[in-house]
Structure formats: C-alpha cells, structure tokens
Amino acid sequence: MPYSHLTFDVADRIATITVNRPDKLNALNDSLMSELGDAITEARGRGDVGGVLLTGAGRAFVAGADIAELAGQNAVEGKARAERGQRTFRLFETSPKPTIAAVNGFALGGGCELAMACHIRIASDKAQFGQPEVKLGIVPGYGGSQRLPRLVGKGRALELLLTGDMIDAAEALRIGLVNRVVTADALIETTRAMLTTMLAQGPLAVAQCIEAVDRGLDMGLDDAIALEASYFGMLSATQDKAEGMIAFLEKRPAKFTGS
Ligand code: COA
C-alpha cells in the first residue's frame, strides 16, 4: 500500500514502520493517524510479517498530535478524534504479532501514548518523554491517562501528567516507562535483535502471551488465571507445541509453523 507520511518496509519478517513527517517532528495529523492504522493493519494481515518495529524519522519519534489541527476542533470533533486515535493505537496493542517502539527522539503527548500502546519500548539515549497536554489546557486523548499509570504507577504517572514535564531516557528507564536504553547508533539493531528472538518462538504462543497479558490485566486474578489455563490447554493441541517439545528432547532448534 502506498503511504505519504510514513514508510513501510519488510525485511526478515520484520515490518518497519517509520513515521515520516520530520519537518513537524512527526506530529500526528489526521491523515498520518489514518495511515498508521492502515500500516498496522497491513502488518497484522501479511503472512510475510511476524513483528513490527515502529520508529520516527529525524529527531523525533512523534512530538504529539498535530496542535494545528487540535486548535480548531470543537467538543464533538475532539471526542471523535480521540476515539479514532484510541482505536488506531489499540491495533498496535492487540496485535498478535509483537510491536516494539524504537524511540529515537521526542515521544511527547500522542507520541508517548503511541509508544505505550506498543508491547515494548526501546529508547535511544537521546529520547525524551512527556505528556504535556496540560500545558495546552487538555488531557491526553489517545490513552495516556490510562496506560501511563498502568506502566509506571499512579504517583509517577500523575507527576508527569500534572506537570507536563519532559523526562530523559534514563529517567524513563528508572520508572519503567521503557524496557531498555541504548545508544542512538544501536537503537534499530537492538530492536531488530529483540524482534528476531521473538520471531524464533512459537507464533501462536507469542500471540497468546500478548492476549493473556492484555486481557488479563483488566480482570480479577481468578478470572485472569482461568483465562491463562484455557490458553495453556488450547496450545497443547497445536503442532507447534508438539514440535517445540520434541525439538527440546531431540536437542535441536524447533521449527515452528504457527499451526
Ligand atoms: N503539532 C504540530 N506541530 C508541531 C508539533 C505538534 N505537536 N510539535 C512540533 N511541531 C512543529 C513546530 O511547530 C515546528 O514547525 P515550524 O518549523 O513550521 O514552526 C516544527 O515542528 C519543529 O518544532 P520546534 O518547536 O521548532 O522544535 P524545538 O526543537 O524548538 O522544540 C519540542 C521541540 C518538541 C519541545 C516542541 O516542538 C514542542 O513542544 N512540541 C509540542 C509538544 C506537545 O505539546 N505535544 C502534545 C500535543 S497534544
């Protein structure tokens, strides 16, 4: 599919989606948001893609929603825009294929929210994070007020949400907002290496781990572990389970087929 505001490349079963509007620090206008939805849908649907690396061109990952567009919105348009963005980001979060944000620079507002909707965040040591919406008189609209406390805890989330302050990559690592911090030069290579490790595992098992965590976190523990037991049982009926266990016993790498 042709894209105007992002690039989409597939190599070694990894789809790299690069948000590409660097003159505006990759700010998410409506057409870019729509393309992001198309891109993750394409990645989820393609048989030659097993995982997604999301990054930004230039000095930003994404510096937020496009403030020029937000400036003109009324209440009804604002709610609709938030709902569209939330649906798009949820496609990253519920992808059965792992999604990793390689955060190369500013991840502010919608950019921080987009990174949080990915399964994992790896940051360059040049990355900066924040939810500066209060400075504009609004709240986050793409899930930030909900995913941030789930990731870093209520007190730390409220500190970021109420001050609008930016934090650097080291602080983001300290509070658990990102999984790893690496040098800018190593960012893409490190992210691809992590995805490659995931791609070597049973794809059905990977998908069910993602779903168990996504669904289970919003359940009580009894319901959540019941869900886990059903996935555990269901995967026992797969070829991948048979292959994984035979390969272990035969002391060879497993060849998973996703069946
Ligand atoms: N929406 C629209 N345009 C944006 C943008 C956004 N969220 N973030 C950056 N831009 C644009 C700037 O307007 C500028 O455009 P111009 O060259 O046509 O004037 C360009 O990107 C470069 O940004 P600039 O502010 O000049 O860079 P900087 O290095 O001085 O500052 C930031 C970088 C990230 C600190 C600053 O751009 C910023 O605060 N951006 C807004 C962040 C934000 O509030 N996001 C949440 C939105 S809900």
Across 175-220, the runs of DSSP E, i.e. the strands, are 180-182
Tens-digit pLDDT profile for the chain (259 aa)?
789 999 999 999 999 999 999 999 999 999 999 999 999 999 999 999 999 999 999 999 999 999 999 999 999 999 999 999 999 999 999 999 999 999 999 999 999 999 999 999 999 999 999 999 999 999 999 999 999 999 999 999 999 999 999 999 999 999 999 999 999 999 999 999 999 999 999 999 999 999 999 999 999 999 999 999 999 999 999 999 999 999 999 999 999 999 9
Contact 148, 160 (CB under 8 A): yes
Residue nearest to atom 19 of ligand 1 (CA): 24
Q: How far is the CA of 240 from the centre of ligand 1 (A)?
A: 47
Residue nearest to atom 44 of ligand 1 (CA): 132
| Closest CA relative to residue 121, chosen from 33, 194, 37 | 194
17 and 145 part of one domain = yes
245 and 224 part of one domain = yes
Catalytic residue selected from 133, 159, 189, 250? 133
211 and 136 part of one domain = no
Instruction: Give the count of alpha carbons within 13 A of 106, CB side only.
Output: 20
Q: Is residue 254 part of a domain?
A: no
How far is residue 182 CA from its own chain's centroid? 18
Contact 72, 30 (CB under 8 A): no
Ligand 1 site: residues with CB under 6 angstroms?
24-25, 27, 63-68, 106, 108-110, 132-133, 136
* Cα(144)–Cα(157) distance, integer angstroms: 9
Residue nearest to atom 20 of ligand 1 (CA): 24
173 and 226 part of one domain = no
46 and 65 part of one domain = yes
In the block, tokens 């990253």 appear at 92
Q: Is the full-model pTM beyond 0.85? A: yes
Using the 3D structure, point to which of 157, 182, 199 is the last residue of a domain.
Answer: 199
Q: Is residue 1 part of a domain?
A: no
* Cα(259)–Cα(219) distance, integer angstroms: 28
User: What CATH number is attached to the domain comprising 219?
Assistant: 1.10.12.10
Number of structural domains found in the chain: 2
71 and 114 part of one domain = yes
37 and 138 part of one domain = yes
Catalytic residue selected from 77, 83, 93, 113? 113
Cβ density class 58-92: b for 16+ within 10 Å, e for less: bebbbbbbbeebbeeeeeeeeeebbebbbebbbbb
Q: Which domain holds residue 239?
A: 203-249
